[in-house]
Amino acid sequence: FYISGQRGKRMEVADSEYAAQIKKVATMERDTTAQALSAAVFYKNTLEEYKITEFLFQNSQDMAKVVQGRAEKGLAAGIDADIANAEVSKTSRLLNSAIRKRDGAKGNLTVMMGVNYDLPLSIIDNIPDIQLNTKNTQELISTALKQRTEVDAGVIDVRTAQKRIELLKRESIPNLTVSAYLQRDGFNENVMGARASIPLRVWRDNSGEIVESEARKEQAMTTLEVNQHTIKYEVIRAVTNFNSLREETKNYPEELMKKVDEDLLSIKKALGTGQMNIRDALVAQNSLVSLKLSYIQSLSDYDLAKIELIRSVGFPLMQYIVK
C-alpha cells in the first residue's frame, strides 16, 4: 500500500513527460514544415536563375557569332571578337554554376519531401501575402510566447522536475506491505495466517537523487528562459527582415521588369545591325541581367521572410502559407 501517495505521483510524472514529448514533436513538425517550404522557395529561385543564365549564355553565343563574322569581314576589330568569346566562356561558367545550384536545391527538396530525385519536379504555387500587423512587434512577441510549443514544453519540463523531487521525498516514507498465506505444515495440518510489515530505510534517504533532481529543475528553468529569449529575438529579426524585404521588392517597377527581356533582344539586334559595339552591348546586357537576378533574389528572400515570420510567431504554416 502506497501510504504516501507515491503511485499517484509516479503517474503524474509519467503524464508530464508524455505531455512534454507531445509539445516537442509539435515543435519539430513546425520547424520541418518551414524547412520544406523554404527548400521549395529556394528551388524555385534556382530555376529562375537557371533560365536567366541560360538565356544569357545563348545570347552571348549569338553575339559572339555576329562579332566574329563582322571581324572576318573587317567590319569590327579583332579584339572585339576576343572580348565576345571571353564573354561566352564566362557565361558558360555561370551556367554550369546555376545548373549545380539547381540540382542541389532539387536534391534537398526531394529528400525533404521523400520523393524520387529522378522524377520531374516543378513549383506551381507562390507564397501568398501575409496579413499581419508587423508594426506592433511587442504584440507579436507576446503572441509567440503563447503560441510556440517550445515554451509549453519548457514549462512542463520544469513542472516534471518538481514532481520528480516530490516523488523522491515521498519514497523515503515506508509503504505498508500486507500478505496472507495458506499452507500445510510438517504435521499435516492446514495453516492459515496473515502478515503486515513496514520496511524502514535506515541508510538510504534519496538525498543524492533529490539534489540531482533539483539541479535538473534549475537546468530546465534556465533552458526555458533561454528559449524565451531566443523566441523574442527570432520574432524581432523576422519582423525587421519582412518589413525591409517588403519595401525592397517595391523598388522594382513591374513595367520595367517586363521590358528587360525585350531590351535584351534589342541589344542583340542593335549589335547585329552595327548600331552598337560589343563592349557597349555587353555592359548593357550585364546590367539588365544583374537587375533581373536581383529582382528574383529579392522576391525569393521576401518569400523566405514570410515563412520565417509565421514560424517565429508560432502560427500554423499550412494555414497561412499553403492556400
Residue 268 has pLDDT above 80, yes or no: no
User: What pLDDT band is residue 28 in, cutting at 50, 70 and 90?
Assistant: very high
User: What pLDDT band is residue 62 in, cutting at 50, 70 and 90?
Assistant: confident
SS3 content of the chain, % helix, strand, coil (to 5): 75, 5, 20
User: What pLDDT band is residue 1 in, cutting at 50, 70 and 90?
Assistant: low
pTM of the model: 0.83
**Alpha helices, DSSP H, located in 114-197:** 137-147, 149-171
- Measured CA to CA, the distance from residue 124 to residue 321 in angstroms comes to 14
Residue reference for cell 531566443: 230
User: What pLDDT band is residue 187 in, cutting at 50, 70 and 90?
Assistant: low
Residue 16 has pLDDT above 90, yes or no: yes
User: What pLDDT band is residue 130 in, cutting at 50, 70 and 90?
Assistant: confident
Model pLDDT for residues 211-246, shown as the tens digit of each residue: 999 999 999 999 999 999 999 999 999 999 999 999
Tell me the HSE value of 6 on the side-chain side, using a 13 A CA sphere: 13
Residue reference for cell 521549395: 40
Residue 213 grid coordinates:
533532481
- Measured CA to CA, the distance from residue 323 to residue 318 in angstroms comes to 8
DSSP code for 122: -
Of 113-127, 130-144, 244-258, 260-274, least confident by mean pLDDT is 260-274
Residue 188 has pLDDT above 70, yes or no: no
Model pLDDT for residues 83-116, shown as the tens digit of each residue: 888 888 999 999 999 999 999 999 999 998 888 9
Q: Which amino acid belongs to residue 79?
A: I
